[in-house]
Structure 1
Amino acid sequence: MTATLADAPAAGALPAAVRPVPVARTYRFELVKQFSSWRVRLLLLACLIGPGLLVAGISLQSTLPSDTLFGRWMHTTGWAGPLVTLGVAGTWALPLVASLVAGDVFAAEDRLGTWRHLLVAVRSHRRIFAAKALASVTVVLLLVAGLAVSGVAGGLIAVGNRPLIGLDDHILSPGDAAGKVLLAWACALAPTLALVAVGLLGSVALGRSPMGLLLPVMAALGMQVAQLLPLPVAVRLALPGYAFISWNGLFADPQQLRPLLIGVAVSLVWAVVATALAYLLFVRRDFTNLTVDGAGRRALTVGVLPPAALLAVTIGVVAVSTGATGSGIDQDKLQRSLATAYAHLYRLQEDELHRPAVTEAQLQTSASCVKSDGFSEQQGPGNDWHCTVTWHIPGVAITGQAIYQLDVTANGRYIADGDGPKEVNGYFLVRTPQGDEPNPLWQFDGSVDLLPSR
């Protein structure tokens, strides 16, 4: 009797035959399924090879994508290439990766009719969800790492490990540039995870419908369109895709970290909320009815209303915590940023011309900017900003002046186009003792911090 009692299972314990399969084993199984798909294999190959070939090819051409951030420096340093890759990836590649990997991970089981087999094998809804979500995140992280490594390798091989010009046009050493490039890619993981979570939610809520596969791409496209509109700063920062843009602040001096941290935090909150919604829908789904695939009024309600409420709450929190109002772009910010960038680049031009070195304090650079010739409100984005930069050269009584036309985008980035005098900023080349060299003062990029200074 004693032996019989000792061998009896404890109260509430499941026999070994019906215990759920551990998450680790289910996770490995889901990874094998992911990489057995030709779609994922093709994505992995494209991420490992494509950016490197593209960056190397562009860096060796005579024309550069100067309208892309850091594109004008791809002839100068290998660290510009991975930043151009990151800008393009945040717009197209990363949303596509999230869609193809996470947007179909649950819907595929509906189309193939394999839910019953999977549930019998694993015997736990929660462990199935955890394994599929972890496998999707693992594959996406691997693909993002491939994009970053390929872009860095292509740039360094084609151009070399040279200093990078920052957004306010100060010079970053190769080591500093490398650290900030890697950090920028790491920050882009937050909005990518938010899109992955949106893909999981769409795959669960919409079942075998192809809309679940398209949901991350559509969400990313909607956020990109929103970023082009003259929205208030609080709304702009509350969108989970803002971290695809705010990494630019790493390359300013001083660094614009508050928009970046807010963008990363908002993206992570969206990732957690969307994943939690997907989990709730999945564990409450009725798998005994083959005609129900998750797509229904309740699924759509749970999948739409909470994200809308989250967006409203996030906008309120950002507005109250930052005190940001309006577009965040005003005359004073633009003048300070332009004067700082010009002083940095003027010293670089003087070095090219082998003239005596001057300090920024000696130059006493200032800028005066007017929008629409003074006939409109002096704030907000637009391509109608007209600026005059003045500076002083030690030992010279005459004050130097240079004219710029500025195209300011809604996210705070601007392109300054030199408009004379010709010997300063009116031509794309300057004559040096060694021959003609690119003129750093002709065209350059800059960035305005949208948040009010503390």
Structure 2
Amino acid sequence: MTVTDAPPVAVRPVTVARGYRFELVKLLSQWRNRLLIIACWLAPAVFVAAVSQQSDLPVDTLFGRWMNTTGWAGSLVLLGFAGSYALPLLTSLIAGDVFAAEDRLGTWRHLLVAVRSYRRIFVAKTLASLTVIFLLVAGLAVSGIVGGLVAVGNHSLVGLDGSLLPPGDAAGKVLLAWLCTLAPTLTLAAIGLLGSVAFGRSPMGLLLPVVVALVLGLAQLLPLPVAVRLALPSYAFIAWNGLFTGPVQLGPLVIGVGVSLAWAVVAAAAAYRLFLRRDFTNLASDGSIRRAITIGVLPLAALLAVTVAIIASAAPATGSGIEQHKVQRSVATAFAHLYRLQTAQLNRPDVTEAQLAATAACTKGDGRISQQGPGNDWRCVVSWHLPDVAATGTAIYQLDVTPDGRYVADGDGPKEVNGYFPVRTPDGDVPNPLWQFDGDVELLPTTPKG
């Protein structure tokens, strides 16, 4: 009896779709990731609802002073917190661990034998981690919005120019703001992938998105030139502020989103190149630090330099971008809108912005220093006119302007206009919109009105 060789059996390659499903199931089966998903979908609603019912609101945060008047403000407060703290941490725990987990468990050989394609493994792990991250971000957004609407209601929102946004407009801008933060989140996720591939079992790979976010966040607090500030991917986490001004500041927002996407592409490409060059036959090897610097760090540094040059030439701006005429225009516009809001609260005859003709005269450091740049030494005197009233109304504000263009205007009299927190209305005391208000100065060059 002759024994013949069995015909070779063709083995089908594992497709990206099958690898993606496998990696997604692995991520979702981890108890840590399950807890993160539950927390992101439940905790923000509880937080926003609880804070909105307090009398002591987080007025030092953007839109915090309006949390007990509209449900949309709480979601924006949460968005500011998420961009600084929550999203860097979430991307670290998901993207920063997706490759390093295989190093810790020593399962690379099994995975490579099963899939037999470095490219498919990288794509599957990347898509799976991004899916989980998007699920977490969606949870933060939906939960924060629902918590605010249930606790306070679907009311109009006061924008950063003092105008009153109807609920429909507020809803659209809040959703767009959350959508725009996906771009810098992608950047942190790509940096997490890069760290996970480059550092292997080392905790540094897991912490890299948090460290990078911390460094970039600290950079945004410095008085950097406008081109450098907009060239950092972290600016997209605050560029959504321009959606709530009039006119909408689309320039910085588009630049911030574009820069973030460029960083995400370069960081992901660097992670892919490093992954292809990993030595998986040596279980003790976590990769080469020199290779990580040349392939990972240098391209990002080059991208930053190129981006700064492009922004500086396409949208030239000197210094910090915070200039006297911009501050004056922003304060006058916000005051005029908020004055009309106060007028409606007091049941006085309505006036238009054109009738008020509000202007602001602002000085920094009592005029003894350069009239530009951030600082808490800005002082503005706002003047306006009322129909059939000969006297000109004036009000004083002390401004604290941050390097990113955001400011808080603190009323300093007269007391009947902005000297007290509440105003007495026929329905009782309500917060005085002119007592303190938030504003935003556009950093890019603008054409002065008038």
TM-score (structure 2 length as normaliser): 0.97
Give per-residue Cα distances to partners, 1:360-386, cap 9 Å, x unaligned: 111110000010011110000000001
Alignment of 1:109-120 (within 5 A): 109-120=102-113
Q: Which amino acid aligns with 2:71?
A: G
1:397 Cα deviation after fit: 0.6
Alignment of 1:70-109 (within 5 A): 70-109=63-102
Give the match for residue 174 of structure 2. 181
Moved more, 278-287 or 146-155: 278-287
Give the match for residue 388 of structure 2. 395
| Distance in 1, Cα, partners of 2:128 & 2:373 | 44
1:225 Cα deviation after fit: 0.2
1:16 aligns with 2:13: no
Give the match for residue 206 of structure 2. 213
- Asked if 2 retains the 8 angstrom alpha-carbon contact of 1:207 and 1:295, the reply is no
Give per-residue Cα distances to partners, 1:45-101, cap 9 Å, x unaligned: 110111100000000111100010000000110000110110000000000010000
1:296 aligns with 2:302: no
1:296 Cα deviation after fit: 3.0
1:128 aligns with 2:121: yes
Give the match for residue 266 of structure 2. 273
Helix, strand or coil at the partner of 2:350: coil
Helix, strand or coil at the partner of 2:361: strand
Give the match for residue 3 of structure 2. none
| Distance in 2, Cα, partners of 1:341 & 1:301 | 49
Aligned with residue 400 of structure 2, among 399, 407, 419: 407
Alignment of 1:46-445 (within 5 A): 46-445=39-438
Give the match for residue 3 of structure 1. none
| Distance in 2, Cα, partners of 1:315 & 1:39 | 39
- Asked if 2 retains the 8 angstrom alpha-carbon contact of 1:205 and 1:300, the reply is no
Helix, strand or coil at the partner of 1:416: strand
- Asked if 1 retains the 8 angstrom alpha-carbon contact of 2:363 and 2:378, the reply is yes
Give per-residue Cα distances to partners, 1:110-150, cap 9 Å, x unaligned: 11110000000111100000000000100000000000000
Q: Which amino acid aligns with 1:304?
A: V
Give the match for residue 5 of structure 1. none
| Distance in 1, Cα, partners of 2:141 & 2:283 | 42
Helix, strand or coil at the partner of 1:444: strand
Q: Which amino acid aligns with 2:87?
A: L
1:431 Cα deviation after fit: 1.4
Give per-residue Cα distances to partners, 1:286-336, cap 9 Å, x unaligned: 212223222432123212111111111111111111112210001000000
| Distance in 2, Cα, partners of 1:332 & 1:163 | 29
Gapped runs of 5+ residues in structure 1? Answer: 1-7, 10-14
| Distance in 1, Cα, partners of 2:315 & 2:220 | 19
| Distance in 2, Cα, partners of 1:425 & 1:291 | 67
| Distance in 1, Cα, partners of 2:134 & 2:318 | 36
Helix, strand or coil at the partner of 1:414: strand
- Asked if 2 retains the 8 angstrom alpha-carbon contact of 1:163 and 1:173, the reply is yes
1:434 Cα deviation after fit: 2.3
- Asked if 1 retains the 8 angstrom alpha-carbon contact of 2:324 and 2:371, the reply is yes
| Distance in 1, Cα, partners of 2:288 & 2:131 | 26
Helix, strand or coil at the partner of 2:442: coil
| Distance in 1, Cα, partners of 2:22 & 2:329 | 56
Q: Which amino acid aligns with 1:453?
A: T
| Distance in 1, Cα, partners of 2:427 & 2:90 | 47
Helix, strand or coil at the partner of 1:425: helix
1:395 Cα deviation after fit: 0.4
- Asked if 2 retains the 8 angstrom alpha-carbon contact of 1:56 and 1:155, the reply is yes
Helix, strand or coil at the partner of 1:16: coil
Q: Which amino acid aligns with 2:439?
A: G
Q: Which amino acid aligns with 2:56?
A: T
Helix, strand or coil at the partner of 1:446: strand
Helix, strand or coil at the partner of 1:328: coil
Gapped runs of 5+ residues in structure 2? Answer: 1-6
| Distance in 2, Cα, partners of 1:290 & 1:165 | 58
Helix, strand or coil at the partner of 1:65: coil
TM-score (structure 1 length as normaliser): 0.96
RMSD of the TM alignment (CA)? Answer: 1.1
Q: How many residues align?
A: 441
Q: Which amino acid aligns with 2:134?
A: L
Moved more, 336-345 or 277-286: 277-286
Q: Which amino acid aligns with 2:227?
A: A
Helix, strand or coil at the partner of 1:405: strand
- Asked if 1 retains the 8 angstrom alpha-carbon contact of 2:44 and 2:140, the reply is yes
- Asked if 1 retains the 8 angstrom alpha-carbon contact of 2:273 and 2:295, the reply is no
1:258 Cα deviation after fit: 0.3
Give per-residue Cα distances to partners, 1:20-49, cap 9 Å, x unaligned: 201111101101110111221111111011
Identity over the aligned pairs, expressed in percent? 72
1:446 aligns with 2:446: no
Helix, strand or coil at the partner of 2:419: coil
| Distance in 2, Cα, partners of 1:354 & 1:201 | 59
1:436 Cα deviation after fit: 1.6
